[in-house]
Amino acid sequence: MKRIYLDYAATTPVHPEVVKAMLPYFTEKFGNPSSIYHYGQESKEALEKARRIVADLIGARDEEIVFTGGGTEADNFALEGIAFANQDKGNHIITSAIEHHAVSETCHFLEKHGFKVTFLPVDKDGLVDPDSVKKAITGKTILVSIMYANNEIGTIQPIEEIAKITREAGVYFHTDAVQTVGHLPVDVNKIGVDLLALSAHKLYGPKGVGALFVRRDTKMVSFIHGGAQERNRRASTENVAGIVGLAKACEIAAAEMDEEAKRLTELRNKLADGLQERIEEIHLNGHTTLRLPNNVNISVQYVEGESMCLSLDFEGICSSTGSACSSGSAEPSHVLLAIGLPANLAHGSLRFTMGKWTTPADIARVLEVLPPVVDKFRAMSPLIKKSR
Ligand code: PLP
């Protein structure tokens, strides 16, 4: 069976060019970048070249890039690094109700260590109101952390506007741009953030490697303690092959992103429109235009997201759901609840995220397969019988 992968927001396949770039760093170019002999220096050179490429993609300086073990670590580092270094100034952090767990769980951890966290609500499209950020800032606020684009519903936040507010207030601003970098142009100086997290496996690089942009002169404590790697900010021997892979993925993204975003936007609209034409009583989650080019998230009345997801898998189509199934918890997605969906619609959500190898034929196949799947479940649904 030909499988159709439509879960690029979960992870992307590694680009063959990325694999090719990485391979020598497992074998003949294996040196530890901290060693002073040839092998070490060869790795060190690759590491610094990679740093330049990653920095270039987001308009940063080389020394403002800290390589990490993925997006989660970058987010943890940003929040804990700022919080513990700036306790003399205050203990208040502002974030949103729709952050990835990498941010929200770190906030809960910080709450246990004496920090106070404000979780700002979002509107029905998933947008944070910049004015609510302004109003939430107090004399004790040290950090605002608002994600760039949401991983579930794709909504893109008004990051530049929020950054103007944090700058005026003299508060650090972190953004989780894990779903954005490599898909949309990001320039840290244009948007005005102080910290920004990215992850290689969301842009056709390997898993377990990412980076945190830390603006020069930002006061932070180091996150992992040990050796002096990454200018004393992140100990541990660098994952040279992974970092080389991240850089190659960034290089490819820089060259292809604009065209790819246009192509994916067309596919996205075709899928979203096609589903809404073919299936009654469905709801498109997230903002209609301020959204990632590759994201379609729908809620289907009277049907469980998990059931649709499994039926699609049976037909060779990989999608995901914001309902309980993937996490094994009984709770529906916090993001869908935060945009005001009732629990039944939040449980009936299905996310399709497209990427480099998605074709118009793949979209046509989903449009052919999903409507009868929905019909089948609705015919059996006690919920639909009760409400009609
Ligand atoms: N932040 C967002 C918005 C994400 O979508 C993800 C991954 O799903 C992460 C952080 C975590 O990144 P990683 O898997 O590299 O730890």
Q: In what order do the strands lie in the sheet with 195-199?
A: 65-68, 210-214, 195-199, 172-176, 141-145, 92-96, 116-120
Provide the pLDDT confidence category of residue 322 given band limits of 50, 70 and 90.
confident
Residue with tokens 């709770």: 331
Domain boundaries, the chain: 4-11+256-381, 16-252
**Over the stretch 237-281, which tens digit does the pLDDT of each residue have?**
999 999 999 999 999 999 999 999 999 999 999 999 999 999 999
Strands 172-176 and 295-300, bridge-based pairing: unpaired
Residue 194 CA to residue 129 CA, distance in Å, equals 20
Q: Report whether pLDDT(68) > 50.
A: yes
- β-bridge mates for residue 67, sequence order: 211
| pLDDT (0 to 100) of residue 388 | 59
Q: What pLDDT shows up at residue 181?
A: 98
d(CA 368, CA 373): 10
Which of 30, 126, 139 lies closest to 335, judged by CA?
Answer: 126
Identify the pLDDT of residue 1.
Answer: 86
Q: What does pTM read for this prediction? A: 0.97
Q: Residue 161 is which amino acid?
A: E
Architecture of domain 4-11+256-381: Alpha-Beta Complex (3.90)
d(CA 33, CA 193): 30
User: From atom 5 of ligand 1, which residue's Cα is the shortest distance away?
Assistant: 151
Across the chain, what does the average pLDDT equal?
Answer: 96
> From the CA of 100, how far away is ligand 1's center (Å)?
7
> What confidence score (pLDDT) does residue 347 get?
93
With a 6 Å cutoff on the Cβ, whether 145 touches ligand 1 is: no
**Is 70's C-beta closer than 6 angstroms to any atom of ligand 1?**
yes
Q: Which are the catalytic amino acids?
A: 325
- Say yes or no to pLDDT of 179 above 80: yes
* Greatest alpha-carbon span in the chain: 76
Total Cβ atoms within 10 A of residue 82: 25
- % of the chain beyond a pLDDT of 90: 94
Task: Grade residue 325 by pLDDT with cuts at 50, 70 and 90.
Answer: very low
What 3-state DSSP class applies to 64?
Answer: helix
Share of the chain above pLDDT 70, in %: 97
DSSP code string of 65-81: EEEESSHHHHHHHHHHH
Specify the long-range contacts of residues 25-33, CB closer than 8 Å, at least 24 apart: 25/240, 25/241, 25/244, 26/241, 29/240, 32/237, 33/229, 33/237, 33/238, 33/240
> Helix 240-278 to helix 38-57 angle, to the nearest 10 degrees?
30
The alpha carbon of 45 is separated from its chain's Cα centroid by a whole number of angstroms, namely: 29
Closest among 197, 123, 133 to 163, alpha carbons compared = 133
pLDDT tens by residue, 131-168: 999 999 999 999 999 999 999 999 999 999 999 999 99
Q: What is residue 331's predicted lDDT score, i.e. its pLDDT?
A: 79
Question: 83-124 pLDDT, tens per residue?
Answer: 999 999 999 999 999 999 999 999 999 999 999 999 999 999
Q: Is the CB of 178 under 6 A from ligand 1?
A: yes
* C-beta neighbour count of 386 within 10 angstroms: 8
Domain covering 16-252, topology: Aspartate Aminotransferase; domain 2 (3.40.640)
324 pLDDT above the threshold of 60: no
Task: Number of helices (H) and strands (E) in the chain: give both, helices first.
Answer: 14, 12
Alpha carbon 141 to its chain centroid, in Å, reads 25
147 lines ligand 1 (CB under 6 A): yes
Tell me the mean pLDDT in the region 285-314. 97
Phi, psi (rounded to 5 degrees) for 50: -60, -40
Instruction: Say whether pLDDT at 330 is over 70.
Output: no
Tokens of 375: 């019909």
Mean pLDDT within 188-195: 98
CB environment 104-119: b (16+ within 10 A), e (fewer): bebbeebeeeebebbb
Ligand 1 atom with minimal separation from the 199 CA:
15
Say yes or no to pLDDT of 326 above 60. no
Asked if 340 and 324 count as a contact pair (C-beta separation under 8 A), the reply is no
Q: What is the spatial distance between Cα 9 and Cα 320, in angstroms, rounded to a whole number?
A: 9
To test the pocket of ligand 1, the residue of 148, 150, 151, 201 to mutate (highest count of ligand atoms within 8 Å of its CB) is 151
